[in-house]
Amino acid sequence: LLVPSLFFGSMVAAIFAALLGYTPMTLVIPAMTASLVSIVNVPLAAILFTVEVFGAHYMLPALIVLVVTSILAHDHTIYRTQREKLGKRQLLPGISTRRVKIPAHWAGKTLIDLDFRNRFELNAIGLLELQGVDGIPHVRIQDASTTVLEEGDILVVLGTDEKLAGLETAVRATQETIIDAD
């Protein structure tokens, strides 16, 4: 979608240049920057593209258009990876990964002790340990199921969206139950 957005921006600018009596390059180059910012949501790449391809003398018009477009453009993007947040990532329709913070009542247990796979019907694909044996945060991939969990660690889980939502609900509900008991 990169090329269509550049084409669209340059064609709109060429039409406006013809209507207003300007040379096409005067509006086409800043319009290409604007289309990259508004449609593709890559402001740094847009300004670098303009300077590298057309030269530094187009930098000021491109910067002005970049700022105006950034202010006027909406926050939505056409690329799925730009919409996703760190804690959630959709791999396929209906299949995602989530990062779930280990609740206090899971501390001192392993995923095997919790019967995690059978209980939630999800796969734990990694564990981000808050503090490893050497005092440095670690990411465990293979032996996460036998690692003793600590409060604050983050479990990376793969499964269907419904099962992941069920896990998040269960973790939240047990945390609220513990808080209410206190």
Give the chain's domains with CATH numbers: 2-72 (no CATH), 84-181 (3.30.70.1450)
Rounded to whole angstroms, how far apart are CA atoms 7 and 94?
34
Rounded to whole angstroms, how far apart are CA atoms 45 and 47?
6
Rounded to whole angstroms, how far apart are CA atoms 117 and 110?
12
- Kindly indicate the confidence band of residue 182, based on its pLDDT and cuts at 50, 70 and 90: very low
What is the pLDDT at residue 38? 82
The string of pLDDT tens digits covering residues 30-69 is 999 888 888 777 788 889 999 999 999 889 999 999 889 8
What does the DSSP 8-state code read for residue 76? -
Per the document, the length of the chain is 182
Decide if pLDDT at 104 tops 70. Answer: yes
* Pairing mode, strands 88-92 and 154-160: unpaired
Decide if pLDDT at 82 tops 80. Answer: no
Using alpha carbons, select from 122, 158, 153 the residue that is nearest to residue 140: 153
What is the pLDDT at residue 122? 92
Lowest pLDDT segment from 31-40, 41-50, 94-103, 139-148: 139-148
State which H helix or E strand residue 163 sits in.
Answer: helix 161-181
Q: For the chain, what is the total number of helices (H) and then of strands (E)?
A: 7, 5
Q: If you average pLDDT over residues 99-124, what whole number do you get?
A: 89
Rounded to whole angstroms, how far apart are CA atoms 87 and 30?
36
What is the pLDDT at residue 120? 93
What is the pLDDT at residue 37? 84
Round the average pLDDT of the chain to a whole number and report it: 82
Strands, E, within the chain: which ranges?
88-92, 95-101, 123-129, 138-140, 154-160
Decide if pLDDT at 179 tops 80. Answer: no
pTM greater than the 0.85 cutoff: no
Distance separating the N- and C-terminal Cα atoms of the chain = 54
The tokens of 3 are what? 């090329």
